[in-house]
Structure 1
């Protein structure tokens, strides 16, 4: 009797690219006997087999000899037969008689190099898997599917939990800095309540957002805590990002949280404690003696001022403490697994009265409900309390005079307004106001996912992924009447509330089948998302001292405000993914998306994506090559869109009801926003070519080159007052980004007990404004960084500083002169108004966008010891150090403290001096501190971001203690920064967000952190 053909199932589909994630995810295997009976299989499973079939058993361990749970065991070339290891690392499977003669077993597990073992005459296998030194074998989530990296046709970067968590922070952007090529993270503040900004492959917009789309556990958006993250996948080119359609223009970051594995329940505790200190870099403020000596050259001071020497910087900053504690439990059976965690994070800012406290709870449950139906329920709740840094404290730390005392004879903070003889310009001591004033907020965010996968047939899977988000926030800012800030209004209170809910459903159908050497996967998705939000705000004045509740306010400060908004997205997409013999890969997709953000005439848009790759190392001419162990070339082209960063009603004509438009005592409405029914998405067309190479299975090189051209840019266009409107949202102009990026990972030494791995990644990016609407050549004319055709969008346009006149110490700028024939010449002038005219302002060729960015890491392990060091670097960007206007002003503000001149700087003293700084004069030297290229500084830096030393107790020490793992570590963050920048820290926002790119102004510096941790499990 002829045996029926084995029937594949969803856990081991024929398409290899789909096989691994599903099997790993559920730690389960289904096999087919020759009689097509499918059963769950563990080492004790029994099946009805013919007399000549062979039962194979064995154990799979890691490099340390620990059993691995959920390892997939398959027969090479036959996807219908398989098993997975149980909690002891054991497996058992039946191999049909027809496959025995040439069978090879394949053992694969996420994060480990696959092992192939010929069957031969064996019935028992003892297999050891080693960690993959490269990422080619890792399974990553891309779009709405999962694949091994080596089978991708797109540009992606993956960072696992271990490499992500070397730096201590509760914000993902800070953890990503320098970890992936083309991913630039920048921060303008060391405040723990302020997260960094992420930019992928350059900014390509004027007024819209530049942040990447965040996808958590397969659904757009969502909440998570970094301690629960298993890995991060960054999607950079359209072949990967395109499925997310209108919101993928700035790249996609996919966050995958941890899941449980079948076997014994493991309970883990992770504890990190330490302290932080503010960095000062090359920056120093003058003490009393230094300031007295400097000012004596142009401003008479009584020597008695030297009796006081207050270090206001030290008064404003402190040693902050960091605590991060997590408890988690994971485990489950072959059918149901769980992961539960709770986290407490507290970081004191180094500026006084500034801190962040976070509480997070996560529960991930997944179960194989029936043979065909699998379910996931994911829950995450986050509660944050933020005490914001006081801007007055930072201002005073930089500018208050050391001649003014901080405390009176009784040790109490002095009120500068009433203290006789206070010399500082603002007559304020933050030490007096800080105990009374505050600005704080608290927020609660809850996310719940219910995800279902149903195997309709052995080739078709239906999925429904559903999420609901809730967010609630309260904010309060209080200025007591006893302080300078609250005195004018006899006390001020600002209250705000916010609420949001977001509903998302994503329904998917997937067809997958192999036809001999051909593999085909078809995907269809219908997705809908609606977000509701509301907020209110109120501000009152005339509050009694210390009474910070609105009910005691005697008058309103501003009229109460509120809003209710609703935004919707809807998407349909289709994708075809084809491969031939695991050598040639083609992928194509089409997306149609609707958004209520845009005008009624253009509320939908279509996008397409194409990708192809060729694995050369699977060809005969490279097979078994001992030098080139893997080689692949890739290419992609397509379109995506940007809908981020504009107001929810940007396309509509709006009116404002206010007292300003009242008539006869009745409220009136006046136009406030001009409508644009044609407003639509920004369109981004992108092309990418790249290659992946591995040499000797120890050197991995990934290189990508791309061109990204954005058109129909979203722009908030100013309108003349005569129109009755201040602005209108339009689509205007185009910008091009192009660049090259690479990642090089090398296993330098791999010997018994010792391993040394190095990773270097770098990215080079250039952008240019190609076109602006209405034939314009420049937007934001007169700004430091106007948007101008033919220029980098972050390029500075300023009066050009020409140094100091050596004869008299006056400042000099360039003056551009045009004669009657249009000939242009440049002259020197000491009159600022001549240098700042429209003709004399010049593009400097200097930009806030860096020429390249990157990171370098080294990890060494010796037996149970681990040592790692990580650097990140930025080169070629220029920073406008605006804060020097205050404390490097050539005598304009003698009532402000001054900075100690940086190395190599000098000040004019006598005729003939060739110096960097003009002669100081009371009231300033001819506007020398006005905006010009004088305050442009090289912002390049290299930073020792983290050093970490760890030790894990060996098993023979743990003995019968009950602990399965105990490890300790010491770690340091931001230990050293190499830079020429004169301020406390060169790191600034590097993109045109709120027109603040490249600006450093009274910077809250980052902190050095010194930490110790202990982690243990049982």
Structure 2
């Protein structure tokens, strides 16, 4: 009996040893570090450097789960097999399937808010160094305004209108999940534009103007990949419907000045005495002389790849843009390196660095003004073909006697800038449902702006004396975001979310100097001999935040999402430093209901709605305090004068946002996205002028409200899709 019991006990605990190798379907190489777990237990093993593994299973019905980051997991039933070799397929995550939303990523069918994604191939169909220009016409609800023709100038981006008066009105940029940052458009993998509070409230006091999430490229192929790209274009100044008079036309119009108001006869004798025929010997096209077709060139080189533990991406870009106005240009160099190192299947480290440098030479707007107002009767060149000064010339008909060509050649308005961003990210998978992420960035930038006018330059203010000024700014700061992310999933339900804290700080300082009386041939501020001026001031700001979000999905039909953020900023007085930003959004995927199963031509039908609050605090530090300017002297000592009146009640600008949307997909080819929104901003931050009798001339105040409402429509379709040809037109209006 004892032997029988012992045999039964041993049989019931018999273990079967399973061995094998794990390979990559991409290159058929062995995969080390693959996690092999018996389904429903914590018992497991890891493949070695040769991809080999061994594991003991309790019975033939045991199921082995093979998983590895970047590959599709597989489940295999043992079935009395002693050797099981496995080939894992790379996990191809398409842009249309996963949407990066900054703090988190979601499947497109899980999103309950108004967002638009743009892939890199659609962005780079224009030659530009700015993401705003690339987004123009591709996202409904976005208005891109080129307010300056200066080379390298970034356009103003307005998402769903203007929601502020004096505070910044542009969107918040989030690069690789971290607020702020610099990037080259060539390094961009995708752009996500978040437009309603259902998505943007998680960014609280910095999201009044919407949020643009930028995801840069990473290594995805196990084989080293190299890319070289060169694009070129030509820009021409848009003069609108302006057509300037030539000499003959202007001459005849001036002749009308000499028409007698009684007899309506023209006194040609007086006219030719005042406007001799010799004026017609010169016919200067001032716009043609000062505006030229400008070349735009973009060079880009990148390398990427991955191994079992490390993935890398390195990109280098050079952008060269000549200005359409003479003697203007913009040059930019950008270097980026992204690496991801996987210590194990639970610990991942990300290192990203971006370096950039640029130089701009701009134009004096008065020179542009004189290009439009100067007379065609004046020749900008002397008898030898050299540019001449109108100040020393005779018989000049143009206003103020300024030759804009000579002025541009004898002046300089330049700017040099350098930026450094370093990102460090840590991802720790604590359990199957709980993950800790820490994303951090340190940034530094410096900028030097210079203005110089030679004493010989045709200029209203500085002809005969010259002028030089120089200003240097330095900015450095950092941000850290630490989150716990959880995800519980059952057959019908899913509950996911995040909770954490964020802290950021920034310090800036500048110094500037200027003066007149500059000797010819010299352009340094140290050679100025009169009207000296020097200025400079440091500033410091900090903000800390609590972040939380909860997402619930039932049966892949009903979606609910909520977020709650608390910000504390040093920009406001102590009693007003805290503000809360909640949001709530929901969606119903009607096309997944059983009663829609027969309508096969409808591939997607969703209703969605959202409400939330966003804010704005970026008016600069110390704006609630009294400010004085040290611009005078008293008794030989520095003295101050009142400038800005204190406002201890100054508080956050907040916007309440409502959005309702409808998504329709037809035949898996046509996608329609319709959104209706209403945004109401309270406590507008306004920099008001004060009566001079009070001593102070300015004060920041919360005054008034602003409302934006509208309708957005976006349509995308896949008209033709073959292995050799793809045609996917887009249409958007808002």
TM over 0.5: yes
User: Partner residue of 2:352?
Assistant: 378
Find the counterpart in structure 1 of residue 85 from structure 2: none
Question: CA shift at 1:474, angstroms?
Answer: 1.0
**What is the correspondence of 1:481-496 to structure 2 with a 5 Å cutoff?**
481-485=455-459, 487-488=462-463, 490-496=465-471
Change (3 A) 1:361 1:178: same
List aligned pairs for 1:104-119, cutoff 5 A: 109-111=92-94
Cα distance in structure 1, aligned partners of 2:144 and 2:14: 59
Q: Distance in 2 between matches of 1:269 and 1:460?
A: 41
Q: Does 1:149 align with 2:101?
A: no
* Residue ranges of structure 1 left out of the alignment (5+ in a row): 5-25, 57-79, 112-134, 764-1018
**Whole-angstrom distance in 2 between the partners of 1:456 and 1:266:** 33
| Native 8 Å contact 1:55 1:93 kept in 2 | no
**Corresponding residue for 1:474?**
448
Distance 1:452 1:754 in 2: 41
Is the Cα contact below 8 Å between 1:54 and 1:94 reproduced in 2?
no
1:561 to 1:448, Cα distance in 2 relative to 1, 3 A = same
Shift in Å, 1:38: 4.9
Tell me what 2:245 maps to. 286
CA displacement 1:676-714 (0-9 Å, x = unmatched):
111111111111111211111111111111111111111
Is the CA contact (8 Å cut-off) linking 1:316 and 1:393 kept in structure 2?
no
Q: CA deviation at 1:29?
A: 6.4
Matched, 1:271 2:242: no
1:682 matched to 2:647: no
After superposition, the C-alpha distances for 1:887-908 in whole angstroms (9 at most, x for unaligned) are xxxxxxxxxxxxxxxxxxxxxx
Check if 1:176 corresponds to 2:135. Answer: yes
Rounded Cα–Cα distance in structure 2 between residues aligned with 1:465 and 1:752: 39
Q: Are 1:705 and 2:676 matched, yes or no?
A: yes
Question: Does residue 730 in structure 1 map to residue 701 in structure 2?
Answer: yes
Distance in 2 (alpha carbons) for counterparts of 1:3 and 1:324: 67
Aligned to 1:647: 620
Instruction: Output the CA distance in 1 between the equivalents of 2:620 and 2:717.
Output: 47
Q: 1 CA distance for matches of 2:712 and 2:34?
A: 40
**1:197 aligned residue:** 156
2:46 to 39, 45, 54: 39
Match in the other structure for 1:656: 629
Is 1:541–2:516 an aligned residue pair? yes
Aligned position for 2:119: 160
Give matches, 1:443-454, under 5 Å: 443-454=417-428
Residue number in structure 1 paired with 2:209: 250
Q: Does structure 2 conserve the Cα–Cα contact (< 8 Å) formed by 1:690 and 1:705?
A: yes
Deviation at 1:451, TM superposition (A): 0.4
Cα distance change, pair 655–431 in 1 and its aligned pair in 2 (3 A) = closer
How far apart are the structure 2 equivalents of 1:366 and 1:428?
58
Distance of aligned partners of 1:584 and 1:47 in 2 relative to their CA distance in 1, 3 Å threshold = farther
| Structure 1 residues 611 and 373, CA gap change in structure 2 (3 angstroms) | same
CA contact (8 A) 2:564 2:580 kept: yes
| Structure 2 residue matching 1:278: 3-state secondary structure | coil
- 1:532-551 per-position Cα deviation (integer Å, ceiling 9, x unaligned): 00001100111110201122
Deviations 1:896-949 (A, max 9, x none): xxxxxxxxxxxxxxxxxxxxxxxxxxxxxxxxxxxxxxxxxxxxxxxxxxxxxx
Alignment size in residue pairs: 682
Equivalent residue number for residue 219 of structure 1: 178
CA offsets per residue over residues 817-852 of structure 1, 9 Å max, x none?
Answer: xxxxxxxxxxxxxxxxxxxxxxxxxxxxxxxxxxxx
- 1 CA distance for matches of 2:221 and 2:726? 30
Task: State the SS of the aligned residue for 1:379.
Answer: strand
Aligned to 1:390: 364
Deviations 1:723-753 (A, max 9, x none): 1111211111111111110111122234574
Cα contact 1:33–1:96 (8 A) shared by 2: no
Q: Cα distance 1:585–1:426, how it changes in 2: closer, same or farther (>3 A)?
A: same
Q: What does 1:426-825 correspond to in 2, within 5 Å? A: 426-485=400-459, 487-488=462-463, 490-557=465-532, 559-623=533-597, 625-644=599-618, 646-659=619-632, 662-750=633-721, 753-763=724-734
In structure 1, the partner of 2:378 is 404
Structure 1 residue 182: Cα displacement: 0.5
Mapped contact 1:42–1:85 kept (Cα < 8 A): no
Structure 2 partner of 1:1003: none
User: What is the aligned-residue RMSD (CA, Å)?
Assistant: 2.6
SS at match of 2:699: strand
TM-score normalised per structure 2: 0.88
Corresponding residue for 2:264?
A: none
Q: Distance in 2 between matches of 1:713 and 1:41?
A: 62
> Are the equivalent residues in 2 in contact too, given 1:275–1:322 (CA < 8 A)?
yes
Measured in 1, the distance between the counterparts of 2:547 and 2:426 equals 19
- Residue in 2 aligned with 1:354? 328
- Match of 1:298, SS state, is helix
Query: How far did 1:638 drift?
Result: 1.3
Structure 1 residue 84: Cα displacement: 6.9
Segment drifting more, 168-177 vs 292-301: 292-301
- Give the C-alpha shift of residue 189 in structure 1: 2.7
Q: 8 Å contact 2:70–2:90 — kept in the other structure?
A: no
Which range moved further: 431-440 or 634-643?
431-440
For residue 198 of structure 2, give the secondary structure of its aligned residue in structure 1.
helix
Distance change in 2, residues 1:638/1:42 (3 Å) = farther
On the 8 A contact 1:143/1:244 being kept in 2, the answer is no
Shift in alpha-carbon separation, 1:697–1:399, aligned structure 2, 3 A: same
Q: Once the 2 structures are TM-superposed, how far is the Cα of residue 48 of structure 1 from its aligned partner?
A: 3.5
Evaluate the alpha carbon distance shift between residue 286 and residue 53 of structure 1 in structure 2; reply closer, same or farther with a 3 A threshold. Answer: farther
Encode CA deviations 1:476-514: one digit per residue, 9 max, x unaligned: 111011123274461211011000001111111112112
For residue 335 of structure 1, report the CA deviation from its aligned partner: 1.8
Name the SS for the 1:484 alignment partner: coil
Cα distance in 2 between the residues matched to 1:561 and 1:43: 66
**In 2, Cα distance between equivalents of 1:625 and 1:27:** 47
TM-score, with normalisation over the residues of structure 1?
0.64
